[in-house]
Amino acid sequence: MRIKSLLGKLSIERIEKFIQSPVWRLARQKGWTWEAAAVNEEMIQEAAHLLSPCAAGVLKEMLRLFAAAPVEGEQLVKEVRKRTDLSGAECQLGLAELEAAGILFSVRKAWGERLYFLPLESFSSWQRAIFPFHAEQISLQQKEDLMNGHIRPYCRPFGRQLLAALVTLGRSGLKLTASGTLPKKTVSKLLQSIDFDERWLGAFHLKWSYPESYPLTVAFILEASLAAGLLEQDEGTMKWNKDRLSRWLMLEEAEREQQLMSWLLALLLPASGESAHLAAVLTDLEAGKWYAEQHMNFMLHSANVLVSDGEERADDLALQRWYGLWHSLGWLEVADCFSTDHKQLFFRWKTAAPLGAEIVDINQNTSPYAVIQPNGEIMVEPQCPFWIRWELELLAQKKSDEQVSVYRLEAAAIAEAMEHGRTRSGIQAFLLFLSGGEPLHAAVEASLEVWTSRACRVEFAEVTLLHCVDSAMAAVVEENLSLSPYLLQKLGSLDFIVQKSRVTEIRNLLKESGYSPRKAIQSNDESEGTGYPIINIEEAVGKILPERRSALEPNRAAPTYIYEAFPLHHFELSENPSQASFPTAAQRERVPAMWIKQLRAYHHSTRRELIEQALQWQTPVQLRIEHELRSFIPERLEQQSEGWAVIGILRNEPQRQSIRLTPDMWEEMRLVIPGQDTSI
């Protein structure tokens, strides 16, 4: 669950209490709100140093064992006790502290069991705070290997790929089939518009809706579009949200990519298991520097955050998938190096990768974003805004789309643009702005004049009526000898009745004559909001939207194409943290006060009573063994013919292992109440 979703469920009073926690001391001094501090790297690093040993121990093991996935409270306590010397009561105390600070949250399942989770935006920062890493760049020998390696092909940034997919939807239309899905032809075009390899996405074992109609990559693109609010779907229809689309297109590229990265991590981290640790490490690396996959794996294994066997994981797709996916999304450069004895993988973040750097303000300079050649070829700079690319994708035929994109003005593209509501004056104004105010070459002006004067001047109506835009065009049709056999009857001065079965032939004849008709057949029930939206130039240039930095947040009222690994929003958020004082005061009053307050020597039978009480409360006991004070975590009692013994963990031993103590092995003892005693 993300911070924004939590804010919608939490009371104002509880949110204000979070920042009062001692761990947020620095944030409080700087006047930060909890929601800002909870996702800030510096504040989280400071908070990590202020956690109590109980809270730090619980959080560390939760991250180590479950990464970004939620976990049931009972299972969490069991695993923490198994791997640390914390008692059950100390685990509960740690959970209470983490919940009170807004670091962990819990939801209640139907049967009352708590499910604990970390807000998704804060996972990576907490992972790095609890498991600090120092990544080293590749060595001189590895640099030589890199020189002989194979760099994987260039992929466009995710935002550019998503734009291409949206352009495809704009051109193809958003009408759905009877089954509520896009037509197969549209799905096929969507697949052609993107670069990323589905196997890397598939390695996360995601589940999605309409798997028989949509490949995973198409569902992924639709989910990203819905999350950004660019598309809306309801009751079997899909439409554009033109306002949100305009805002998204006007974002700076760095900001857009960062929003996409945030959305991607929120979607995939819970589904990635222990490889979420790798994602947290990688997103903290310096852009432009080469690193080795082998070194990343070594660091993770050294920190013991990969619980699977290292030998098996070395070439496992579970770790490889992050490199492959981020390369497919255009953020990471990857080189494969093969030698006689082993294979190496080197990588580096591109300088424009969304790694959390400060986002610059929207740049509104009017320098030309493109150069328009006399032959109609358009060379587009990499920093060209998306709202310009959106329009250019419709007006011109794309020839290449790498660092510098190349388009070409052609009659067919201009005809398609006019079919989507563009006009001659609008196209000319756009191209003039695109070139920085430089007048268009005479040859380009002449071509536009011809193409726009001929495009979309005739169209087909549902009654199979050939309609001309004016009497001059009607005369051209009427005088065309090749068309005359198809004209059954003239209606008025602009319309001709034709056979519906001959529409394709008539369309081709009109094209050959230089008069491309509209592709769509006019219908009275044509849906609105499904075509290629028009982005107003004046608004795009002069309007700075205050909400332009709103993060991509899935709209739960709309269908979800990619299912969450753990859909926590179905459950009720726990209003109160775990029991902060355990055992309760009433429980403590039922035992002699001296059992808690003072070390004493007791009869063996009383010693057993204290051990039984500690087991019931899941608390430590303090023992004096050979005149030395030791902290002991009892786990179970054993009864044998010669007497009883207790099995448990003796703290501060070189190795954590259970030992067996008989009552004659310690001189004095007392119960220790977590939160009220200093651990020994």
Domain borders along the chain are: 3-118, 141-349, 370-454, 458-517, 585-671
For the chain, the average pLDDT equals: 86
Residue 531 binned pLDDT confidence (cut-offs 50, 70, 90): confident
Q: H or E segment at 279?
A: helix 276-282
Q: In angstroms, what CA-CA distances link 78 with 88, 270, 672, 679?
A: 8, 21, 20, 20
Residue 579 binned pLDDT confidence (cut-offs 50, 70, 90): low
Per-residue pLDDT reduced to its tens digit, 386-420:
888 999 999 999 888 877 889 999 999 999 888 88
Q: Which residue has the higher pLDDT, 535 or 288?
A: 288
Instruction: Report the CATH architecture of 3-118.
Output: Orthogonal Bundle (1.10)
d(CA 413, CA 430): 15
Three-state secondary-structure class, residue 74: helix
Per-residue pLDDT reduced to its tens digit, 31-71:
999 999 999 999 999 999 999 999 999 999 999 999 999 99
- Lowest pLDDT segment from 258-262, 510-514, 584-588, 635-639: 584-588
d(CA 581, CA 96): 9
pLDDT attached to residue 354:
86
pLDDT attached to residue 457:
85
Residue 285 binned pLDDT confidence (cut-offs 50, 70, 90): very high
For strands 458-461 and 465-468, give the pairing: antiparallel
Residues 6+ apart with CB under 8 A from 429: 537
- Lowest pLDDT segment from 67-71, 214-218, 402-406, 486-490: 402-406
d(CA 537, CA 391): 10
What is the pLDDT averaged over residues 352-363? Answer: 59
CATH label, 458-517, candidates 3.30.110, 3.30.70, 1.10.3470, 3.10.580 = 3.30.70
Look up residue 86 and give its DSSP letter: -
d(CA 240, CA 166): 10
Residues 6+ apart with CB under 8 A from 330: 154, 155, 156, 157, 158, 160, 161, 195, 350
The pTM score is: 0.83
End-to-end CA distance of the chain: 37
CB 2 within 8 A of CB 270: no
pLDDT attached to residue 125:
94
Cis before 583? omega within 30: yes
**Hey, which residues does 62 pair with through a beta bridge?**
none
Residue 525 binned pLDDT confidence (cut-offs 50, 70, 90): low
Amino acid at 18: F
Q: In angstroms, what CA-CA distances link 369 with 70, 159, 163, 186, 448?
A: 47, 18, 17, 30, 20
Q: In angstroms, what CA-CA distances link 158 with 25, 262, 397, 590, 619?
A: 38, 12, 21, 63, 52
Domains 3-118 and 458-517 share a fold: no
Per-residue pLDDT reduced to its tens digit, 164-213:
999 999 999 899 998 889 999 999 999 999 988 899 999 999 999 999 99
Amino acid at 250: M
Q: Is the pLDDT of residue 311 over 60?
A: no
What is the pLDDT averaged over residues 457-471? Answer: 82
What is the pLDDT averaged over residues 433-437? Answer: 85
